[in-house]
Amino acid sequence: MDLRSFRKPSRAARISVYGTALLSLAAALLIWWIVARIAGLPAFILPSPAQVAVRFWKALIDGSLLGNSLVTLMEVLLGLLAGTAAAVALGYAIAKSRLFERLISPFLVGTQAVPVIAIARLLVIWFGPGTFSKVLICALTVFFPVLVNTVVGVRAVPKPLHDLMGSLHATPAQTLRYLELPAALPVLLGGLRIGATLSVIGAVVGELVGSDRGLGFLVNVARGQYDTALVFVAVFTLIALALTLYGAVTFLERKFLTWQEVNS
């Protein structure tokens, strides 16, 4: 395909996508309002959208929402970075050695059979309810999907390209930098999309198990006080956080993988 034929999505197409998202959000809010109005349930069971909005503003003004959100965001970002770095390093080693894969695979698969809530309780007992245990839980949650995608991406590099690098007397470091990493990047970023959303789950699970800060802690406090509107506020904030991280990874894909669109 001629490079001149490559065009970014038009402004009208982007407006159409955003408009559809806003319409679906408005429809969901309308259905929520109708159900809350018709059911006539008390606010501690099902608050209306207006009550949640008022509680959101109150939590924003008193600083509880922003402070706890920043704590969770820090845990998520640190866990995402640590889990991704470890997964890429170990995934590359597994992709390059079948023997190493056979030795370590049973342990990796076994860890995925254990519910994250059980691991979270152990980590909080071992390392305390501080930030480190939450970061570790996030890292473990992110680790496996990024690991699998790293292995798949590195092994998907065509053998003729490896032969070409060998004919050019490329060092292993040069092969990694100029061939394997760029070729595996689409699959790796796909795993990072999953990991970015799962990292939020890991942080919240850790905070629910034991913490005195964060959005999970805010959910625990609100639940104990039957402040269901505040629970909704915390949940919606977590959704916004996960969508932001997902969007950040999508932005990285558009930035670093433009060659895919050009060659498609």
Query: Residue 174: is its pLDDT beyond 70?
Result: yes
Tell whether 133 and 117 lie within a shared domain.
yes
Residues 192, 193, 196, 198: what is their CA dihedral angle, to the nearest 10 degrees?
A: -100
**Structure confidence at residue 10 as a pLDDT band (50, 70, 90):** low
Distance CA 56, CA 48 (A): 12
Are 56 and 167 contained in the same domain? yes
The answer on 59 and 112 residing in a single domain is: yes
User: Which residue did the predictor score with more confidence, 199 or 1?
Assistant: 199
- What's the rounded Cα separation, in Å, for the pair 9 and 223? 44
State whether 234 and 141 are in the same domain. yes
Same-domain status, 139 and 228: yes
pLDDT of residue 2: 41
Same-domain check for residues 173 and 213: yes
pLDDT at residue number 82: 93
- Point out the least confidently predicted range of 42-56, 90-104, 109-123, 238-252: 109-123
Q: Are residues 31 and 112 in the same domain?
A: no
Average pLDDT, the chain: 82
Of 9, 25, 40, the last residue of a domain is: 40
Residue 79 and residue 64 share a domain: yes
Mean pLDDT of 31-60: 85
Domain count within the chain: 2
Q: Are 240 and 255 contained in the same domain? A: yes
pLDDT > 50? residue 3: no
- The domain of 231 spans 47-263
Residue 210: phi, psi to the nearest 5?
Answer: -170, 110
What is the helix (H) or strand (E) element at residue 42, kind and residue range?
none
pLDDT score recorded for residue 119: 83
What is the token pair recorded at 83?
Answer: 């889990």
- For residues 51 and 148, membership in a common domain is answered with yes
Are 66 and 140 contained in the same domain? yes
The CATH number covering residue 182 comes to 1.10.3720.10
If asked whether residues 29 and 107 sit together in one domain, one would say no
DSSP for residue 180: I
pLDDT tens digits, 215-258: 888 998 888 888 888 999 999 999 999 989 988 888 888 877 76
